[in-house]
Amino acid sequence: MFSEELKTFRRLGFRHVLLQILNFASVLASGLMIYKGLGLITNTESPIVVVLSGSMEPAFYRGDILFLVNPQNKRYEVGDITVYKIPGQDIPIVHRVLETHDVVKVVNGVRQAKPLPENQLLLTKGDNNYLDDRKHIVGKVRGYNDFPQLKYALLGGLGLLALVQRE
């Protein structure tokens, strides 16, 4: 089945094989740099995530790819779609914000006039937890991929990236 490929591989010189390995390593390193650069630009540790569950259907289906941003000093609004992670788990959770609540700060007996983003509590769909989810949020969805070929290419690239980044 692979006899022709093995013969071709054996005919290649050591330098050629080494060059192919170095080319493959440079492609992987470039992909990692682009991914990390996107993370810096979008202010999120995961600028691209894959929907893993059907909890957001029909808006997003399992396997859909989401592009995230995490703007600093911006408040989340009702209806925003957020992605967050629970500490100790590496699975991104995609939910829609149902309600926002502000923690009122009182300094020297005076209430804070303007609510700050870091004092905002979020209640998300499917989450009966009243605790603050903001510190677990990875980013707000800004883009959606509707092209299957691009989805498979990105999933393959993210799979390779996950294999390379494993500790």
Q: Which of 65-79, 98-112, 116-130, 147-161 has the lowest mean pLDDT?
A: 116-130
Q: Identify the pLDDT of residue 4.
A: 80
CA angle, residues 78, 48, 89, in degrees to nearest 5? 80
Which residues, 6+ apart, have CB-to-CB distance to 46 below 8 Å? 39, 68, 83, 92, 138, 139
Q: Which residues lie across from 42 on neighbouring strands?
A: none
Average pLDDT rounded to a whole number, residues 17-31: 89
pLDDT higher at 103 or 117: 103
Alpha carbons 2 and 157: distance in angstroms, whole number: 25
Top-confidence range, 3-12, 19-28, 45-54, 138-147: 19-28
Average pLDDT rounded to a whole number, residues 58-62: 82
Q: What whole-number percentage of the chain has pLDDT above 70?
A: 87
Q: Identify the pLDDT of residue 129.
A: 45
Catalytic residues: 55, 95, 133
